[in-house]
Structure 1
Amino acid sequence: MPSSDLVAEKMVVKMADHAIGDENTVLATLGLGSCIGIALYDKFSKVGGLVHIMLPENPGGKKTVKYADTGIPFLIEEMEAAGAKKRRLSAKIVGGAGMFKSESGDSVMKIGERNIEAVKEVLKNEGIKVIGSDVGKDYGRSMYFYPDDGRVEVKSFSRDLITI
């Protein structure tokens, strides 16, 4: 937590958006269903970044942070510009739920599952290790990322708070 004489600035990352923060910031994204929040962290520079992706692959449109394959590299570049080093980044991922069910109970379109696979693949290709996750299942989540120490709190309706 930030020292008692400092109040952390809370930055809310909306769907298909991103933010960069430092030890005086809390980065939050609310209402993750099939979308995924990716928190990247450089523990030495205390630079953190959060991106809220919606889909696995960019079909060539402008909004790069909406997609795993372009949003994660974009966030890395922004973090490096803020003083982070790519080789020191670690990741925590939240979301990717199977929110759209058919009558048989199967996940329709499997967007959450596809997002999880894409995010993990992009991070692997970027050489960034996933050190914590709360993904899948069938319920939404909100995540709060604290760049002062790298922790991520995950809140879900009718579920206990978890810290990853």
Structure 2
Amino acid sequence: MASAPEKRTPMTTATTSTTSGLFSDGPRFLRLALRADAIVTGANGLLYLALAAPLKDLLGLDTTTGRELGAFLVVYAVAVWAISMSAHPKRLAVTAVVEANALWTILSITTAIVGWFSLTTAGTVWTLLQAIVVAAFGTLQYTALRRTR
């Protein structure tokens, strides 16, 4: 005689509670959002510094501007990382990061539309992709900051 198939319970409880725990813990979520921003921004800055000459042809961004942009991004990334090191990052500092990310997003989109630099098609696409990533970081940081109240 065949027995009825075993009823299986999905094993999503642990994953869900861990994920929801991360997002419900405001300070932890905020530190993670800041650190992710710092890592991606720092890596981007280092690439601009190291590859400014080859990126000139690919993106249409002159070498000097690429290096200056890279240096700025590395310094910014270090500052964001420093803010993230506190158990409870200062609201004013995080607000400044969120606002800087909003400004970067607006300026990136404006650059792509207006053509402030003589970017190639790849450069324009890259600029818009960066705007999306930076807007996402800013949104995550803003959301996390609201949860720390």
Does TM, scored on the shorter chain, surpass 0.5? no
Which protein shows a greater Rg?
A: 2
- Structure 1 or 2: larger strand share? 1
TM-score calculated relative to the size of structure 2: 0.28
Give the structure-1-normalised TM-score. 0.27
Tell me which of the two structures has the higher relative contact order, counting C-alpha pairs closer than 8 angstroms and 6 or more residues apart: 2
Task: Give the structure with the higher percent helix.
Answer: 2
